[in-house]
Structure 1
């Protein structure tokens, strides 16, 4: 029992020893040293204005004509997509349940690749519309007409994406 009392009496002494601080010379000072002091002045000069350069766009001509041409290109690509869609649907239906690597599966994959190509042709005008939108935004121009054209093309591409997703789900 005395051993336990002795160890309990020694605990506070050990804990207090951890609180003891060493002499100041054991640690370096945190004060600013002479080498760390900033000296001199920097001349900032007069304030400068920044001119935002005009962003080059892929098409030339007035904006309404550019937008009409881009929407027309996307619409034409969408027509090609919708004309290729029935063939792809037939090939996917024929490949439904067929094994991967079979002839009907391969034909369905080729038809889906054709649809992907048509979808890509509709995405190119969307990229050009994005460039026009970014350029107009940077130059603080009105973007309402560009947003309307983008919305039309985005709707076409979204319709194509939905069709591709539906067909791909049937051929796996």
Structure 2
């Protein structure tokens, strides 16, 4: 039997196959009642703003900048060790991994103030208050952490 005959059989107009039209049992009927919407109770977020919001924001940005300065001071050494790293498992490779871990640690210290800023931002947004000062501080810290992430990504890509 030829292939054309088999393919032609699939395209027949035989009535032995069921229709693909919507059946009565498949039609939507009735009503769907979901009840009253549940009330969402948002608990207040306690934020430590001792000394005022401006002082707290400045302290968090300063902490992130100090951590970033530490990152920047460790980065050249890490770059040298990554460039000199040998095969996986070698002493030079292990030294580069330790240097990358130091950079990760400094990056983590910069990310902690970002978490606090996120909490303050969220609490302020929930209270429907102005967040422009918080956004400026967050953007500054996000930029610092972003620089660190890019540097770490570059160094990790260069190590074997």
For normalisation by structure 2, the TM-score amounts to 0.73
Alignment of 1:91 with 2:95, yes or no, is no
* Cα RMSD, aligned residues only: 2.4
Select the residue among 133, 147, 157 that pairs with 1:145.
Answer: 133
Matched residues in 2 for 1:94 and 1:65: separation? Answer: 44
Select the residue among 138, 145, 151 that pairs with 1:163.
Answer: 151
Q: Quote the offset at 1:53 in angstroms.
A: 5.0
Select the residue among 84, 89, 92 that pairs with 1:101.
Answer: 89
Structure 1 residue runs of 4+, over 4 Å off? 49-53
Q: Quote the offset at 1:57 in angstroms.
A: 1.6
Alignment of 1:80 with 2:70, yes or no, is yes
For normalisation by structure 1, the TM-score amounts to 0.68
Q: 1:105 to 1:134 in 2, by over 3 A?
A: same
Q: Kindly report which structure 2 residues correspond to 1:12-161, keeping only aligned pairs within 5 A, or say none.
A: 54-95=44-85, 98-161=86-149
Query: Which structure 1 segments of 5+ residues have no match?
Result: 1-11, 15-48
Q: Which has the larger radius of gyration?
A: 1
Query: Which structure 2 segments of 5+ residues have no match?
Result: 1-14, 17-38
- Tell whether the 8 Å contact from 1:58 to 1:128 is kept in structure 2 after alignment: no
Q: Quote the offset at 1:61 in angstroms.
A: 2.5
Q: Quote the offset at 1:58 in angstroms.
A: 4.4
Q: 1:142 to 1:171 in 2, by over 3 A?
A: same
Q: 1:106 to 1:59 in 2, by over 3 A?
A: farther
Number of positions where the alignment pairs a residue of Structure 1 with one of Structure 2? 127
Q: 1:50 to 1:162 in 2, by over 3 A?
A: closer
Matched residues in 1 for 2:154 and 2:63: separation? Answer: 25
